[in-house]
Chain A
Amino acid sequence: MLDILKKAVNLALKQGASQAEAIGTTTITRSVDIEKWEVKQATTKRSGGIGVRVVVDGRIGFASAENTSRESLEDVVKRALDVAKARGPLPGFKSLPEPSQIPKVEGIYCDWTASLSLDMLIKEAQETINLVTDLDSRVKTISGGLGLSIWETGIVNSLGVEGLQKGTAAALSIFAVAEEAGVQTSGFEFQRERSFKKIDLDHVAKGAVKSAIAQLKPSKINAGDYEVLLDPIAVSMLLSTTFARAICADNVQDKRSFLTGKLGQEIATPSLTIVDDALIPGGLSSRRFDGEGVPSQRLTVVDKGILASYLYNTYTAQREGRDSTGHAARNYSSEPSVAPTNLVLKTREVKRKERLLDEVEKGLLIRWVIGAHTANPITGEFSVALGEAYYVEKGEIKFPVKQAMAGGNVQQLLKDIDCAGDDVRNMPPFITGTLRIHKLKISA
């Protein structure tokens, strides 16, 4: 892979680029679909390609191709140079990144996972179905999917950056539909890991069934402010399209972030600290270097409630005369944007999940919500339907909640977090336990 990338970089320099960069990726994904209690279809997909970025007189050009043959490389380089010529200068752009020491990260590639065949996955999928067949007559159907991906990505630039890394990922998700007394519910559970060995078929399959059954016999609740326990799934849903975008320097610089101008200010409860850590062993977003070959690091984003840093790639950093934090996000067919890796949420005090539940006088446990993608990424406002939620009284789950909405603003939500649970889960880009929110507005 690195040889091809070097060839592309040299070709670009020869044809007039002052700087050049090539990124390449190959990915194999294998997946099996489960539909109505049956293995439905299996798929293998091999994909990948090369992307070339060139600098000509301060102008940037980019082009990509799936084909990495010699003729194709020549075509990509020519197209990148054409784009640069037509594009015009990029204000504030100085240079592609310089090379620096790339760290090691453990647990992001698993040989065994990479060696699994499609036939093996078909067997595992059937095994998963068997685990919940005839478990409960109220369960009407089971569907879902099982899959893995094996990828390798390389980057080379004309300043000496050179990096190669590979990773694996495995995932199982199961949806269950249950029915009783004319009420139909959908439950789900899933697990994503770097290694297929860690996937617990039993936990996921039975978890989905449990989730569907638990939602039967729902009752309405009154509108009002409630104390709420947000499951890691709900936390990730609410914060992914809002907070996770607001901390990215491109959105901040273009004033598409509610955190613009808030550096050094208190934006969350003083007990909350959020670290973006791309070096966590086995983390689902862990990596050795980012999309431009800049080494990964551990970056404190929120320090005891104070906004400590935004996330930068090379260009957004240069616009502010600072260094990239290693957050260039891209694939071979795109120019670098900015995105978090593993955002680890921690509160000063962490309590056992059971303890958090025990302490609820009158409140809700919200596992997931519907419509979180409609949250306003610029203002942080959200209005979502509760997907799976339970009414809790004196520490006990009383009943599942029927059709209710939750609304508010993520800016306020961050201030209303008062404690995290120990049930920590990797929900990209977040790593978090259940969060206790002392007040959330619920409408019926």
Chain B
Amino acid sequence: MEDLLRRIIEEALSLGASYAEVRYEENYSCNLMISNGEVKRAGTSARQGIGIRVLADGAFCFVSTSGLKEDDLLKLTREAVKSAKAISKLKKEKISLADAKPVADKVIYKPLKNPVEVDLSEKKELSLRIDNAIRSVDERIVSSTVMIGDSHVRKLLITSDGAAIEQSGPRVRLVIMVGAFEAGRRGSYMDAFGAPTGYEYFDRLDLNEIAVETAKKALRMLKAEPAPSGRFTVITDPDLTGVFSHEAIGHACEADGVIAGESVLKDRLGEQVGSELVNICDDPTYPGGWGSYKYDDEGMPAVKRMLIEKGVLKTYITNREAAAKLGIEANGGARAQDYSYPPIVRMSNTFIVPGDWSFEEMLEDIDYGVYLLGSRGGQVDPAKGTFQFNAKEAFLIEKGEITKPLLDVSLSGLILETLHNIDAVGKDFSLRTGTCGKGGQGVPAGTGGPHIRIKNAVVGGRA
């Protein structure tokens, strides 16, 4: 395979490309969905193909195919170089790439229980056990859906700048959805868990407790009351802290967006953009992170990026093109969903670094506020610097104590104002799994942090 990829590179260079990057990928995946004790969906899929990106006369062209015939691949390569040159003639500004050191490496993760080798019936038993546990919690639980998905990916990358990198590893994920019903009211809750490992991940989890907790959260929704609207002091849990750091800060730190003028953090490097308590990083080297990797899809070593340090904006997430354009360090932020997409600037694991507050200390000073947990979607406009998230769960805080559950609560505001209003950062920490969508591509991304407290935050409720 490596020889074939090298012949594609040679073809591209011989036709006048200044850079070529060829990625071969094979992906095996299995998905299982159980609903109310019944297997609703089950299937396995095997994918493989090659993606080729060429830079010629300062313009890119990307082609991909699931076919592996050499003739077809070379023909596609010729088309790519020709189209890149055609685009170049129309471009005022030519693309150049930040320098890359040639890297040859093999990064092979060997799981204890490789998803490919775990029997489907074992995966089914695991899902049924969780599904059963959920439905045994309470008779008001009316629906339960458990999805288990796994994959094993092997990637091979060769670039004309000397990268020859093989990376392979598994991934497992569990998604639970619970519906509850009582006296005409519906409550629902969804949660997801996962790790870039094999099925040994599930041995370490207390699946029964996860099932019971998720069911209890759905039941709690039946009792939740409409929330107040207005400006309050709020505490966000690690889940929502993570979503905030990813959606509101991380996206605004993506160098391609900064260059396109679509970021409120544009031209602000070195500037105080938040309170001194705020440290936010995007770290692809975080051990066991859902968004971790050793080399990005341009063959650059992944490095930890301290985006905001003591409230000061320190750097952006870059690929080679954006780093050259902005004159800053290339930090290995180019990722592609799979071989059929070109790599673009992406986050990895994005989180707020823990501080030294305990949850009780944060709560103590709040006379009237809201505790928000998780996110079930929202909107961010990184250009205007506005955000709005709908929390999965929320509670009222009265006189330093968590009191009643609230319904349909949203947190919104201006990104920069909110960063300045963070007045306490917890010492706890957790990182969660997610899929980040951008430019039609979805990649695994970790999000997290500690509990944080925000003064004067805009809370939207329906009371």
Residues of A within 8 A of B (CB): 35-36, 38-49, 61-67, 72, 75-76, 79, 82-83, 85-88, 90-91, 117-119, 122-123, 126, 141, 184, 254, 333-335, 370-371, 374, 378-379
Contacts and interface: CB of A to CB of B under 8 A. Distances in A.
Nearest to B72: A46
Contact of A63 (B44, B63, B124): B44
B207 interface: no
Interface residues of B, number: 47
Contacts of B384: 184
A119 B66 contact: no
8 contacts: A35-B260, A42-B86, A43-B61, A48-B66, A49-B66, A65-B45, A122-B90, A335-B41
B276 interface: no
B283 to A, nearest CB: 29
Interface stretch (B76-84, B327-335, B366-374): B76-84
A66 B49 contact: yes
Contact of A45 (B63, B90, B91, B377): B63
Given A47-B49, A67-B66, A86-B124, A41 B87 contact: yes
A352 B98 CA distance: 57
B379 interface: yes
Contacts, number: 126
Contacts of B377: 374
Nearest to A53: B43
Interface string B78-109: 01101110110011100000000000000000
Most central of A66, A83, A371 by chain B CB within 10 Å: A66
A45 B340 contact: yes
Contact of B43 (A83, A91, A126, A378): A83
A46 B65 contact: yes
Q: Which DSSP category, helix, strand, loop or mixed, fits chain A's interface?
A: mixed
A87 B76 contact: no
B168 interface: no
A122 B86 contact: yes
A312 to B, nearest CB: 17
A82 B124 CA distance: 13
B125 to A, nearest CB: 10
A310 B84 CA distance: 49
Nearest to A337: B41
A40 B66 CA distance: 24
Contacts of A126: 90
B340 A47 contact: yes
A334 B260 contact: no
B64 A67 contact: no
Interface in B40-64: 41-49, 59-64
Contacts of A44: 62-64, 76, 79-80, 83
A61 B44 CA distance: 9
Contacts of B14: none
Contact of B120 (A40, A64, A82): A82
B230 interface: no
B67 interface: yes
A39 B79 contact: no
